[in-house]
Amino acid sequence: MNFDKYPLTIGDTAMVYEFYSEGPKGIVAKLVIYRETYLRNFYNLGFGDKDGETGAIDDSVITNNGDSQKVLATVASTLLHFTDKIPHSKVIAVGRTKSRTRLYRMGIYNNLEMIQEHFEVFGRKDNRWQPFDKILNMKLFL
């Protein structure tokens, strides 16, 4: 993706990425963490603010720092790095809330052509995976 992105700090195993959002709310530490699921080669993409006290990811915070496109482009760049380091992986993403899921769905839709240069994209609807469709109310993305 050719969007403006934040510089990343990559963890030792390509499972953890950190960057800093900059905007009207100040400088906010962000984390992207990939976690193995119970399914072989399936990983969950977790994303949110870094808790200043615990260092853990907080995906319930709404930062509103005016840089959502840059933040989403940065998160997408971690996906390219992650899948390069862990080939044949399948990555699942879901928003914590309906509005976050809608934001992810719109981000995928608005950049689908570029995304499909690297990935196949599916959504979960009626308990089955199907090709991504903006119109369907998909709640989970692969």
Residue 83 lies in a domain: yes
Residue 89 lies in a domain: yes
Residue 2 lies in a domain: no
Residue 110: CB atoms within 10 A of its CB come to: 13
- Report how many domains make up the chain: 1
Residue 113 lies in a domain: yes
Domain residues for 42? 9-131
| Residue linked to tokens 């510089």 | 7
Residue 137 lies in a domain: no
Residue 71 lies in a domain: yes
pTM exceeds cut of 0.85? yes
Local confidence pLDDT in tens for the 142 residues of the chain: 467 999 999 988 889 999 999 999 899 999 999 999 999 999 999 999 998 889 898 888 888 898 888 988 899 899 999 999 999 999 998 888 888 888 888 888 888 888 888 899 999 888 889 999 877 788 889 9
